[in-house]
Structure 1
C-alpha cells in the first residue's frame, strides 16, 4: 500500500498539480522515504485562492445562519474523529511525535476545537447596540473578513490547522491552508473528512508548498487575512508583508518559556508534570518551559531530580506506544539542535545527554539533554532550541526569579510552581507572557492563547479567535 499522493484538494475536488514538482516525505524514526506528494507552485495557489473567493462571494457560506454552519462543523468533527487513529499514525510517522501524544493531541483535540466553536455558534447573540453621543444609537455588526491564508508548521500539523479552521469557519470565512512540506499526509486525511462532512466547495482548500510559494500566498491579492504559526524569523517576514499591504495577520511564533520553581515546591508533583510542560512532543512545542529557574536553597536537589527524570525516559520509534521521547522531525532540525548542544557545552555544565542514543541507529534522534549552571544571557538560555534540551538557572529570591523569567525576547508560555497556589498566582501575574500556568501548563479552549514580544501577535482559542476572523462595522443611527 502506497502513501503517495498525486493531487491537491481545491474546491472539493482532487485537482492535478500544475507542475511535476514533488516533495519526498521522510519518516523521522527511520530516515527513509515513506511517500511523495505534489508541491504547489504559484498557479496552484491561484486556483486555491480563486476557489476560496468564489465560495466566499457566491456560495452563501459567509451569510449562512450560524446554526447551519454549526451543523456542518459538527459533521466535520465527526468525520475527523472517526479518522483519529489514521491521523495519529500519519503525524507520528512523519514528524516523530510519540504515538501516545499524537493519539491525544492530533487525533482527539481537533474535534474538541470544532465542538467548542460549533457550540459558540449555537449560543444566542444579542444585538450590539451602544449609546450614541450625537444620535439615537450605534449598532455594531460583525461579518466574516473574507479569504484566509493559513500557514501551518510541522510540529502539531492537525491541531494547529484546526485551531485556525474552526474559528474561521465559525466566522464565515473561507480558507487556503498551506501545510509544511514535512507533514503533508495528514492534511489529505483532514480534507477527506471535510469532503465527507459536506463542507461547501471552496470553503477549505489545501496546497502543500515550500517557503517561497508560501510567501506568494501571503501576498496574494485575493487573500484578506493571514494566520501563521511558525518561527519568529518567518513571522517577521510575514508581518512586514502584511504591514505593507495593511492586511490583518495573526502570528503565533516561538518561545523560550521559564518554569519558576519556588522554594516550597513539591518536586514529586513537578516531576510528574514536567515531561508534558517542558518536553512535550520531543521538546518540539513552542510553549514548552525549557528554562527551569531553581532557588539557590534547593538548587542541587532540583538539578539531581530533573537529571534523574531525563535519564529515565524511554527513547524509541514514534509508533511504539511505550515511547516517551521520539526523534526530531527532520535531519536538518536534528543538526540544528545538535549545534545548540555544542554551544551549550561551552556555556554551561552538561549534566545529562548531549549525544545521540546508541541504540537508535536510524532516524533523527537526540538524547534528552540537561544543562545546569546556565547563565540566563547565554545562547542556550536566550534562543529557542526546539528539542529535548532543558536549562537550569539558579536564583536568589522571588524578585530575581521574575527578572530572569522576563529577561527573554520571547513571551509565549511559562509556569510557576509552589505548594501555595495563591503565592504562585501572585508570581504568575508578574511574568511577561501571553499565557502562564500555575502548578502545570495546558492551553484552554475557552481562553485566548498567544504571545507577546517576539512570540507573536493576536490570539487563538476562546471567543477572541472568532473576532480575529471578523470585521466590525458601526452603523450610526441618527434619527
Structure 2
C-alpha cells in the first residue's frame, strides 16, 4: 500500500440535515507519517456553531426524538453506514492519525460499528422504576422515569476520532438526546465522513450535527446556552477548562481525561508470556492512548529476567510506515508532540533514570516518529512517572511485596485503567479491589466490551461511557407521584 491515501476535497459540515461548506477558519490537516498536508477543511464559523446547536434544540423540542424503536433503527443504520465506508474510513484514519493499518481496521473502525449496534439495543430498554406504595398520610404511589437531558455537545480527541465520537453520540442518541459533534482540529476527516453516514441514515434534521473547527468553534459550542450537557475526551488541562465553562451554565459533563496506568506483574506471573504483550499494549498507536500501561511494577526478584525479556520484546516493536501490516508504532500526531515526548525522556535521563530498551528515532527521512522507550531508575514522583506523556514511553519500578506494588499503582492522580498479571486469576480479581481505577484488566482482560463502563477515578475524569452507565449519563431521573 502507498503511504499517501487520497483524501476527498469536498468534505462538508452537517447542520440541520444539510451538508454545508464551513465558513470559519480553514483546518490544515497534515499526515504525520509524511509531513505532507493531506486536506484543507473549512471549519465552522461561530454563527454555524450556533445554528447547529439551535437545530439540535429544535429537533429535541420538549422531549426525546423518535420512539425507542426509531432510535434503535437509526443507530443500526449508522453502524451500517460505517461498515459501508469501512475502507474510506480506514484510509482517512491512517492518513490523519498515523494509526497502523491493522489497528485502524479493527479498533478504529470495526469496533465503533459494533458499539453502535449495542447502543441500538440499549435504546429499547424501559428504565422506568416503580417504587413501593408509600402509606403516607396521604398514601401515594410513585415511579421514577428517565428523561433525556437535551442537547449534547460531543467533543472527541484526535487519537481515536471515530471510536470516541461513537461512544458519546451512541449513548446520547439511545437516550433520546440530540447532539452536535466536534472532532479534534487535527483529525476532522473521518468524523466528517461519518457525518455523511449520518445524513444517509435518514435521521430527522438536526438530531445529529457534525462540525469541524479549532478552539474558537469549541468555545462557541461549550458556552452556548442551549447546550444541556458536554461530553469531552482530551487532556486534563482542556477538560478542566470545559468543566469551568459548563459550570457557568450549571450543566453536566462527561469527561475522559487520560491516565497513567499501572501494570502490576505479580511474583507468580509468567514473565515470558506477559511482558511482550505489555510493551505492545502501550506502544501501539504511538502510545497515544489514555489507557496505555505506562508504569510497570516488577518484583525485585524478577528484575533481571524482566529486563532481558523486555530487550528481546523491543526488537519486535516495529516503528514506521503505518500502511505496513507489521508496523506497531506509527508517528506522533505533530512535530511539537514528538518534541514533548522526547523531552520527557531526556529530562528523566538527566535526572538519573536509565534506558533499559529502545530510545532514539528510527532511520526515516520524513514523519514524526520516535522509538519506544523503557526507562528505569526514575523516582515514582518524577514527571516521567506522573504525567500522561501520550507517547510510547514506559517506566518500570521494582517492588518488594504486593503492598508496595499497590501503593505504587495508586500513587498517581489518575485512575483510568490498571492491569494485573498473575498465575492465579482469582487472586488477581481480589487484588483489583485495592486499585483505585475505573477498569482493571486481569491477565490481559478481554475484548473491548460495549456493555461495560469506561471511565476513571480522580483526574481521569467525570462520569462513564459505554454500556447502560454511558446511556444514564444522558438521562435525568424524574420522580412522578400520585395519591392513592
Match of 1:108 in 2: 110
Match of 2:416 in 1: 412
- Residue 162 of structure 1 and its aligned partner are, at CA, apart by 0.3
Match of 1:426 in 2: 430
Match of 2:402 in 1: 398
Structure 2 length-normalised TM = 0.95
Match of 2:68 in 1: 66
Aligned pair in 2 of structure 1 residues 276, 195: CA closer, same or farther (>3 Å)? farther
- Residue 374 of structure 1 and its aligned partner are, at CA, apart by 2.6
Match of 2:480 in 1: 475
Aligned pair in 2 of structure 1 residues 260, 477: CA closer, same or farther (>3 Å)? same
> Residues 171 and 474 of structure 2 are in contact (CA less than 8 Å); yes or no, is this contact kept in structure 1?
yes
Aligned equivalents of 1:254 and 1:466: distance in 2? 21
- Residue 207 of structure 1 and its aligned partner are, at CA, apart by 1.4
Q: Tell me the alpha carbon deviations over residues 248-275 of structure 1, each in whole angstroms, 9 at most, x when there is no partner.
A: 1000011001000011111232135324
Query: Which structure 2 residues correspond to residues 4-403 of structure 1 after superposition, within 5 A?
Result: 4-5=9-10, 7-19=12-24, 21-57=25-61, 62-123=64-125, 128-132=130-134, 134=136, 135-347=139-351, 348-358=353-363, 360-403=364-407
Q: Which runs of 4+ in 1 moved over 4 A?
A: 123-127
Aligned pair in 2 of structure 1 residues 469, 276: CA closer, same or farther (>3 Å)? farther
- Residue 128 of structure 1 and its aligned partner are, at CA, apart by 3.2
Match of 2:3 in 1: none
Which of 443, 454, 461 is the matching residue for 1:449?
454
Aligned equivalents of 1:277 and 1:156: distance in 2? 15
Aligned pair in 2 of structure 1 residues 385, 173: CA closer, same or farther (>3 Å)? same
Aligned equivalents of 1:382 and 1:125: distance in 2? 40
SS in 1 for 2:285: coil
Structure 1 length-normalised TM = 0.96
Aligned pair in 2 of structure 1 residues 352, 273: CA closer, same or farther (>3 Å)? closer
> Residues 279 and 290 of structure 1 are in contact (CA less than 8 Å); yes or no, is this contact kept in structure 2?
no
> Residues 307 and 370 of structure 1 are in contact (CA less than 8 Å); yes or no, is this contact kept in structure 2?
no
- Residue 12 of structure 1 and its aligned partner are, at CA, apart by 1.7
Aligned equivalents of 1:380 and 1:5: distance in 2? 42
Aligned equivalents of 2:398 and 2:388: distance in 1? 20
Aligned equivalents of 1:132 and 1:276: distance in 2? 57
SS in 2 for 1:302: helix
Aligned equivalents of 1:225 and 1:343: distance in 2? 40
> Residues 5 and 38 of structure 1 are in contact (CA less than 8 Å); yes or no, is this contact kept in structure 2?
no
Aligned pair in 2 of structure 1 residues 433, 136: CA closer, same or farther (>3 Å)? same
Aligned equivalents of 2:452 and 2:389: distance in 1? 27
- Residue 2 of structure 1 and its aligned partner are, at CA, apart by 5.3
Aligned equivalents of 1:152 and 1:144: distance in 2? 21
> Residues 147 and 223 of structure 1 are in contact (CA less than 8 Å); yes or no, is this contact kept in structure 2?
yes
Aligned equivalents of 2:367 and 2:161: distance in 1? 20
Match of 1:436 in 2: 440
Aligned equivalents of 1:465 and 1:131: distance in 2? 30
> Residues 192 and 211 of structure 2 are in contact (CA less than 8 Å); yes or no, is this contact kept in structure 1?
no
Gaps in structure 2 of 5+ consecutive residues: 1-5
- Residue 152 of structure 1 and its aligned partner are, at CA, apart by 0.6
Q: Tell me the alpha carbon deviations over residues 261-311 of structure 1, each in whole angstroms, 9 at most, x when there is no partner.
A: 011111232135324532232211001110000010101111221222123
> Residues 81 and 111 of structure 1 are in contact (CA less than 8 Å); yes or no, is this contact kept in structure 2?
yes
Instruction: Give the number of aligned pairs.
Output: 475
Aligned equivalents of 1:346 and 1:120: distance in 2? 52
Q: Tell me the alpha carbon deviations over residues 357-406 of structure 1, each in whole angstroms, 9 at most, x when there is no partner.
A: 12x11011001111122321111101111101111011110000000000
- Residue 470 of structure 1 and its aligned partner are, at CA, apart by 1.0
Select between 450-459 and 325-334 the one with higher mean Cα deviation: 325-334
Q: Tell me the alpha carbon deviations over residues 127-185 of structure 1, each in whole angstroms, 9 at most, x when there is no partner.
A: 53444353321111111111100111100000000011111110111111111111111
